[in-house]
Structure 1
Amino acid sequence: MKKKAYVLLSAAFVTAFGLSLAGCMPVASPVTGIIFTEVKYGFMATTATAATKEGKACAQTILGWVATGDASLTAAKAAGGITTVSHVDHTAKNILGIVADYCTIVKGS
């Protein structure tokens, strides 16, 4: 009887662990591929027309368990030395739900 309970408990643990890995890593994107996603999409435009500089800021995640980085508009502006924003784009990349990158790209002057 103890052996049967141990087997059931082990099977429940393995199942719960397996389900925790399946599809748990979302990355903001207008479209998503199950195996691979790599998209670039527009987010915002202003009335400023001059776009002589570009700044990029990114964040990364592994298995949806650990996430690092600063993909904020402020970080992207600082990276490009931008004071007046012309437009903002984003990129999203996801490989098998294992590794993902999300970047904010700011253009302006």
Structure 2
Amino acid sequence: MPTETIFSKIINREIPADIVYEDDLSLAFRDVNPQAPVHILVIPKQPIPMVADAVAADQSLLGHLLLVAAQIAKAEGLAKGFRLVINNGEDGGQSVPHLHVHILGGRSMQWPPG
């Protein structure tokens, strides 16, 4: 059984979140520690600890997360652009072991990012 995380508790409605989107496969909510004017996390309801743990059977779900992120970015008015970030592992900056896509926007992004 997967380890329970703050994200699984949000999915199960055990803790509150500012949810902006939900479907059968995914959930999206505003980050509680935003790094940009718009900072939303898109997570799969099926827990995958990190992108490196994804397998071929997850291909459709991974694509779905990106399409949902683009849909949310459009709904949030990010026509001038946005950044999608997926951190992987401790050195990659991942703080919750549940795959999540960050949507960052509402300001000009810098490069390199980190």
- Fold shared, TM-score > 0.5 on shorter chain: no
Which gives a bigger RCO, structure 1 or 2 (Cα 8 Å, sep 6+)?
Answer: 1
Structure with the larger strand share: 1
| TM-score normalised by structure 2 residue count | 0.29
